[in-house]
Amino acid sequence: MAKTLTLIGLETLPEVKKGDDIGKLIVDACRRERVTIDDGDIVVVTHKIVSKAEGRIVNLKHIKPSAKAVKLAKHVGKDPRLVELVLRESKRVIKATREGHLIVETRHGIVCANAGIDATNVAGSEEVVALLPKDPDESAKKIRWRIKELTGKDVAIIITDTYGRPLRNGMINMAIGISGINPFRDYRGKDDTCGYKFKVTVIAVADEIASATELLTGQGKEKIPVVIVKGYVYERSNKVSAKELNMPEERWLFK
């Protein structure tokens, strides 16, 4: 029997505002669209709606840049107010170039451009930007338990954002927050189809799922902020964090 993986994009979520109950919005949208929520489903949520619900939206006109931000902004050719926000959201600056690249390590431990701060799909203005959720794992946990409270179903949650990759063109979605799922599938010590024993292969399944759902959520006018994934068998876990997907610096191959 063929295995099937089903991805269902929810299209009727309303515009999310500060204080909204994301779990309830998802359940209500599923009912409107006649999508059942089953035990073992994976609910993948783009971080923008989480950030909106948590009030992580900032108008740059209210930001006063520090002297450090002004100096760095001049070097990279960016708005000093945006650079100020990047500094506030970061542990450290890793690379800043005159070509406009500002690579930092966020307070979540993610190495990315501009601390993940983005103006797209926020308010139709470059003056208004979305920050990443303060604690994406905790956000995922709250959504998961709210869905269980409303439906009785035990699902996994993945919160995503879009990032570039070293030495590869183009961007993909990756997991920045998780609940109820082990983000890895570990093949080490197992045999392949030819009897070879895996030594180092650990698959980042949370990132693979996140990337697959971007085919539906898109970056333009798709307006699909939530995807329900059905049919994927994963290891359930309440003890892991998306932070485990961040490679420690001592293991970096490229610097």
Per residue in 52-68, pLDDT (tens digit) is 999 999 999 999 999 99
Q: Side by side, which strands form the sheet with 156-165?
A: 6-10, 226-230, 42-46, 156-165, 168-179
Distance CA 155, CA 103 (A): 34
114/164 Cα distance (integer angstroms): 12
Nearest Cα neighbor of 45 from 217, 247, 188 is 217
In the chain, where are the structural domains located?
6-47+134-247, 58-128
Q: DSSP state, 13?
A: P
DSSP 41-69: -EEEEEHHHHHHHTT-EEEGGG----HHH
- Spell out the residues 6+ positions from residue 4 whose beta carbon is closer than 8 angstroms to its own: 231
Secondary-structure class of domain 58-128 per CATH? alpha beta
Q: Do residues 147 and 153 make contact, with C-beta atoms less than 8 angstroms apart? A: yes
Evaluate whether 87 touches 66 at the Cβ level (below 8 Å).
yes
pLDDT tens sequence across 137-169: 999 999 999 999 999 999 999 999 999 888 899
CATH T-level assignment (fold) for domain 6-47+134-247? 60s Ribosomal Protein L30; Chain: A; (3.30.1330)
Residues in the chain predicted with pLDDT less than 70, given as ranges, are 1, 121, 123-125, 220-222, 255
What's the pLDDT score for residue 64? 96
Quote the pLDDT of residue 82. 95
What is the residue-wise DSSP string for 95-164?
Answer: EE-TTS-EEEEETTS-EEEGGG-B-TTTSSSTTEEEPPPS-HHHHHHHHHHHHHHHH----EEEEEEEEE
| Residue type at position 127 | E
> Model pTM?
0.93
The first and second tokens of residue 172, run together, are 């993909």
Which is it for strands 42-46 and 156-165: parallel, antiparallel or unpaired? Answer: parallel
- Whole-number pLDDT of residue 221: 59
Question: What are 201's two structure tokens?
Answer: 């292969």
What's the DSSP call for residue 221?
S
